[in-house]
A and B are shown apart, each in its own frame.
Chain A
Amino acid sequence: AQTVTQSQPEMSVQEAETVTLSCTYDTSENNYYLFWYKQPPSRQMILVIRQEAYKQQNATENRFSVNFQKAAKSFSLKISDSQLGDTAMYFCAFMKGVGNQFYFGTGTSLTVIP
């Protein structure tokens, strides 16, 4: 079975600062995908960034980057130059390479303070 753990229920960061959200996972699979989704108050689930397990290079999308440590089964999200619009719930998710089911963590509520 796959499990995804987000140990930080709530976090806050000053506007323009950098924040890192943690995620660990447990799987016996070798081929899989990892994701970070953002859920603002509108409730929409928005894909922030995706990482393929076979890729050693960490994924980056503008101000968002990940630190993927496959051996440690760790997948943290770094948000640089935090903006007020980054305030949201952030979910870490896992998907097997062969399959289409997400396994979500319980989420981290991020507040960006002006």
Chain B
Amino acid sequence: DAGVIQSPRHEVTEMGQEVTLRCKPISGHDYLFWYRQTMMRGLELLIYFNNNVPIDDSGMPEDRFSAKMPNASFSTLKIQPSEPRDSAVYFCASTRTGFFYEQYFGPGTRLTVT
């Protein structure tokens, strides 16, 4: 299996622009998680989906952030408009029911907002 795939690996954008991060979970996994990693706050869960349905988005920082999962093999995290404080590494992870302790992480997207 290719593992969790994220794109792009690096993204540099200007403040105010829209940014879209993409994730393809491992085939057969029915849970998908979006995390953000910063030096100040460490790794934080932003939102997670089960069977393509958002279950808990309490970690989403504000309305500028939105996430979708239109099908079992694709999810997006969108920031609009982006701000410098959104600069971070964003991870996607997936797992399957009954194996929550085995979350497989993607390689992350390093986002820099100037």
Contact = CB atoms under 8 A, between A and B. Distances in A.
B109 to A, nearest CB: 9
Given A43-B89, A95-B100, 16 more contacts: A42-B107, A43-B108, A44-B106, A44-B108, A47-B102, A91-B42, A91-B43, A99-B100, A100-B31, A100-B95, A100-B103, A101-B45, A101-B48, A102-B45, A104-B43, A104-B44
Q: Is the interface of B mostly helix, strand, loop or mixed?
A: strand
B42 A104 contact: yes
9 cross-chain pairs, A with B, having the tightest CB-CB distances, nearest first: A45-B105, A100-B100, A104-B43, A43-B108, A106-B42, A33-B101, A44-B107, A101-B45, A104-B42
Interface in B82-114: 89, 91, 93, 95, 100-103, 105-108, 110
A44 B101 contact: no
Most buried by B among A42, A47, A105: A47
B11 to A, nearest CB: 14
B89 to A, nearest CB: 6
A35 B105 CA distance: 14
A46 B105 CA distance: 7
Interface of A: 33, 35, 42-47, 50, 91, 95, 99-102, 104-107
A44 B93 CA distance: 11
Contact of A107 (B42, B93, B100): B42
Contacts of A44: 105-108
23 contacts: A33-B101, A43-B108, A44-B105, A44-B106, A44-B107, A45-B91, A45-B93, A45-B105, A46-B105, A50-B101, A91-B43, A99-B100, A100-B33, A100-B48, A100-B95, A100-B100, A100-B103, A101-B45, A101-B56, A102-B43, A102-B45, A102-B103, A105-B42
A105 B42 CA distance: 7
A108 to B, nearest CB: 12
Nearest to A51: B101
